[in-house]
Chains A and B, each alone.
Chain A
Amino acid sequence: MNMETKHLETPLSASEVEKLHAGDNVTLTGYIYTGRDAAHKKMVDLLQKGENLPFDPKGQIIYFVGPTPAKPGQVIGSAGPTTSGRMNKYSPHMIAAGLKGMIGKGEMGPEVAEALQRHKGVYFVATGGAAALIAKRITESEVVAYEELGPEAVRRLKVVEFPMIVAQDCHGGNIYVEGVEKYKR
Chain B
Amino acid sequence: MRNVNVELITESVKKLCMDANYYLGEDVVEAIEHAVGKEESPLGREILKQILENAEIAKSEQMPLCQDTGLAAIFVELGQEVHIEGGRFEDAIQEGVRQGYAEGYLRKSIVEDPLRRKNTGDNTPAVISTRVVSGDKVKITILPKGGGSENMSAIRMLKPSDGEEGVKSFVVETVRKAGGNPCPPIIVGVGIGGSFDKCAYLAKKALLRQVGSAHPDPYYAEMEKELLERVNNTGVGPQGLGGRITALAVHIEAHPCHIASLPAAVNTQCHSARHKEIVI
Are the CB atoms of B67 and A175 closer together than 8 Å? no
Are the CB atoms of A128 and B239 closer together than 8 Å? yes
Are the CB atoms of A70 and B105 closer together than 8 Å? yes
Q: How far is the CA of A93 from the CA of B181 in the complex (A)?
A: 22
- A85 closest partner in B (C-beta): B181
Are the CB atoms of B50 and A65 closer together than 8 Å? no
Q: How far is the CA of A68 from the CA of B63 in the complex (A)?
A: 9
Q: Restricting to A70-106, which residues have a CB under 8 Å from any CB of B?
A: 70-71, 77-80, 82-83, 85, 105-106
Q: How far apart are A45's CB and chain B's nearest CB, in angstroms? A: 15
Task: Give 7 pairs: A residue, B residue, CB < 8 Å, sorted on A.
Answer: A3-B42, A79-B67, A128-B239, A131-B64, A132-B57, A133-B57, A175-B241
Are the CB atoms of B237 and A68 closer together than 8 Å? no
Q: How far is the CA of A130 from the CA of B55 in the complex (A)?
A: 8
Q: Which residues of A contact B68 (CB under 8 A)?
A: 66, 80, 82
Q: Which residues of A contact B181 (CB under 8 A)?
A: 83, 85, 105-107
B54 at the interface (CB under 8 A from A): yes
- B48 closest partner in A (C-beta): A127
Are the CB atoms of B242 and A68 closer together than 8 Å? no
- Selecting from A7-15, A47-55, A110-118, A176-184, the interface stretch reads A176-184
Q: Restricting to B199-249, which residues have a CB under 8 Å from any CB of A?
A: 233-237, 239-244
Q: Which residues of B contact A172 (CB under 8 A)?
A: none
Q: How far is the CA of A69 from the CA of B102 in the complex (A)?
A: 9
Are the CB atoms of A184 and B64 closer together than 8 Å? no
- B183 closest partner in A (C-beta): A128
Partner of B43, one of A68, A128, A176, A179: A179
Q: Which residues of A contact B242 (CB under 8 A)?
A: 175-176, 178-183
Query: How many A-B residue contacts, CB cutoff 8 Å?
Result: 166
Q: How far is the CA of A82 from the CA of B64 in the complex (A)?
A: 15
Are the CB atoms of B271 and A129 closer together than 8 Å? yes
Q: Which residues of B contact A180 (CB under 8 A)?
A: 179, 234-237, 240, 242
Q: Which residues of B contact A35 (CB under 8 A)?
A: none
Are the CB atoms of B235 and A129 closer together than 8 Å? no
Q: How far is the CA of A83 from the CA of B43 in the complex (A)?
A: 19
B197 at the interface (CB under 8 A from A): no
Q: How far is the CA of A105 from the CA of B149 in the complex (A)?
A: 12
Are the CB atoms of B41 and A183 closer together than 8 Å? yes
Q: How far apart are B236's CB and chain A's nearest CB, in angstroms? A: 6
A19 at the interface (CB under 8 A from B): no
Q: Which residues of B contact A181 (CB under 8 A)?
A: 235, 242
Q: How far apart are A146's CB and chain B's nearest CB, in angstroms? A: 12
7 A-B pairs with least C-beta separation: A179-B242, A184-B235, A183-B235, A128-B183, A106-B181, A133-B54, A130-B54
Are the CB atoms of B240 and A68 closer together than 8 Å? no
Quick one: which of A25, A78, A128, A178 has the most chain B CB within 10 A? A128
